[in-house]
Amino acid sequence: MSLPIETVQHVAKLARLRITGEEAEVYAQQLSRILGLMAQLDRLPTDDVAPMSHAVAVALPERPDRVTGVDQREALLACAPESEEGCFRVPKILE
């Protein structure tokens, strides 16, 4: 199975990755080969098998709804590429 370039470009858009036309062609080739490998699974009947999402059967634990974290606003903002007046700074999204 070969992946059309349009599909590769669509997936790149979903993944928020800018790719060049040249890259799209490389990905189309490589992903097709990898997907070919995955086609092996089609040989295996799995209609009656329940999907397994985790290795251990764990129920999500609950905890009391209490404030536990200290105020780390400054420490967290210090990790940001750009911040201003206690906020993360991003390009304008509305005109």
Which residues in this chain contact other proteins in the complex, by CB under 8 A?
Answer: 3, 7-8, 10-12, 14-19, 27, 30-31, 33-35, 37-42, 44, 46, 49-56, 58, 60-61, 63, 72, 75-76, 78-82, 88, 90-93
Distances (CA, A) of 17 to 52, 80, 85: 30, 20, 30
Structure tokens at 49: 């098998």
CB of 81 to other proteins, least distance (A): 4
DSSP state of 48: T
CB of 74 to other proteins, least distance (A): 9
The total of other beta-carbon atoms located within 10 Å of residue 46's CB is 9
Contact (CB, 8 A) for 33 and 4: no
Between residues 2 and 30, which has the closer beta carbon with respect to other proteins? 30
Mapping DSSP to helix (H, G, I), strand (E, B) and coil, where does residue 28 land? helix
CB of 78 to other proteins, least distance (A): 7
Structure tokens at 51: 């999907």
CB of 65 to other proteins, least distance (A): 14
Between residues 2 and 88, which has the closer beta carbon with respect to other proteins? 88
